[in-house]
Amino acid sequence: MSQITAAEARASTDEAKVVIDCLMAKAKSAMEAFENADQETVDEAVTALAWSIYKPARARKLAETAVRDTGLGNVESKVIKNMRKTFGCLRDLMRVRSVGIIEERPEKGLVLYAKPIGVVAAVAPSTNPAATPVNKAMMAVKGRNAVIVAPSPAGLSTTSQTVEYMRDELRKVGAPEDLVQVLPAPVNKTLTQELMNQADLIVVTGSQNNVRRAYSSGTPAIGVGAGNVPVIIDSTADLQDAAKKIMMSKCFDNATSCSSENSVTILDDVYEDAIQALKNAGGYLVTSVEKQKILDTLWVDGHLNRHVIAKDPDVLAEHCGLSEEAKSAKFFLVEDQNGVGEDYPLSDEKLSLVLTVYRATNFREAKTHVQNVLDFVGMGHSVGIHTKEEAHARELAEDLRVVRVLVNQAHTFGNGGSFDNGLNFTLSMGCGSWAGNSISENLNYKNFLNITHLVRTIPEDKPSEEALFGNHWEKYGK
């Protein structure tokens, strides 16, 4: 590094520190003003944050801005995401306590008190520049924390407008508007890194580079893993139902979700019927020549082509040079052999309407294959299965290194919480130590709380030596 470049780097770092110092001071002042808020006041502020994006006109405006600026996804899906995720998250948050005593365990002599974590650095992705900041802000403020959002450069306009809406709604209910702030333009790595360094907690959704930087910052961090969801269709599946759900999930927001299906592994004895069901649901089975065109177009120098990912199906088909018939499809089925890894790019996350199709002789082979896929990309994230055989679902949950196993569900709609499953609503899915993450659950309000334990004595709970060592002594002696 030259002296000039080094000097510029130092100046950039110094400027970033001044900016973040100011934001942090405002955030801490807002927290001080909010620290004595009771549960009702906190919940009022959280509801205000939800309304900031749930209001239909705003949900649509932010969706339109996001698609225009990032070129990712489609407006109608983002409207649904802005509203559905927010509504579900609000439902979850209104059902729990986060102020004062949140739990008592008299049999253990314990009383649990919730306390704020502090100032949260919330790193947001370009795929969800509106819904994710609101989702994280709601959880953070539920714990009486302040949050500073670090947008992606592509999503800056959308995220900044979203934060302004949140601040407006906080003002209306008398809550400090500086509980929610956003990094100013121009957003860059230096500014985001300084925010990570100064915050009390970092929560990162999106780029795995940002996740790694967060965990290496020295600040407590919650990062989430990469998606690359594999799904199994077994011999007992309702093929029409499975195909419909896979289509709905795959097509939602043009497959930008980390929970979107990237491959389907079909058991041999139902393979042809399952393919037909997927075609009936709007899938187009590409030819071998078209498969090569997709491979040549979807990746450029080993990286996903931003001109193709998350585009409408007719746009993707046009870019790839597919047939006229393909342009009227909803998504694209690409058959591949069961190889996984760098030499088999179709086993990777594709962020597009391309669904890799594998064939397995039996369930055991399918189970091994989906684990191989996750080991390549998507460690710990999730897997889906369409089946009527409960034992198959249980076997996946018992044997796979994965946090979530979804059964007979449209994966995108179920993985981050749904009204018909028990997962909490979130846009950030922890993937456990398998992905180098600190959580193995959906991000939720508890991740934004410190807990104080009031501890009283209870009747002595001390078993005898015989009770604890008896079996061991009997087998192995003293």
CA distances from 264 to 144, 302, 434 (A): 43, 23, 22
Confirm if 379 and 224 have CB atoms less than 8 A apart.
no
- By residue range, what is the domain housing residue 350? 229-415
Structure confidence at residue 13 (pLDDT): 87
Distance CA 33, CA 188 (A): 30
> Is residue 4 in some structural domain?
no
CA distances from 327 to 282, 298, 314 (A): 11, 16, 4
Structure confidence at residue 5 (pLDDT): 62
Q: Are residues 212 and 242 in the same domain?
A: no
Helices (H), 361-440: 363-376, 390-399, 411-414
Tokens of 258: 């980390």
Q: Are residues 99 and 61 in the same domain?
A: yes
> Is residue 208 in some structural domain?
yes
User: Could you tell me which residues come within 8 angstroms of residue 421 by beta carbon, excluding any fewer than 6 positions away?
Assistant: 406, 409, 414
Q: Are residues 149 and 86 in the same domain?
A: yes
Q: Are residues 100 and 24 in the same domain?
A: yes
User: Which residues lie across from 383 on neighbouring strands?
Assistant: 405
User: Could you tell me which residues come within 8 angstroms of residue 286 by beta carbon, excluding any fewer than 6 positions away?
Assistant: 294, 322, 326, 332, 333, 334
Query: Residue 277 sits in a domain of what CATH number?
Result: 3.40.309.10
Confirm if 427 and 85 have CB atoms less than 8 A apart.
yes
- pTM here is 0.94
List the 229-233 sheet strands across, edge first. Answer: 283-285, 331-335, 354-360, 261-267, 229-233, 380-386, 402-407
Domain count, the chain: 2
Phi and psi of 454, rounded to 5°?
-85, 125
Active site residues: 258
Mean pLDDT by 10 residues, the chain (478 residues): 54 89 98 98 98 98 97 97 98 98 98 98 96 98 98 96 98 98 95 97 92 94 95 98 98 96 98 98 98 96 93 96 96 95 96 98 98 98 98 98 98 97 97 96 97 98 97 96
Strands 449-455 and 110-116: antiparallel
Q: Are residues 233 and 367 in the same domain?
A: yes
Confirm if 9 and 1 have CB atoms less than 8 A apart.
yes
Structure confidence at residue 7 (pLDDT): 54
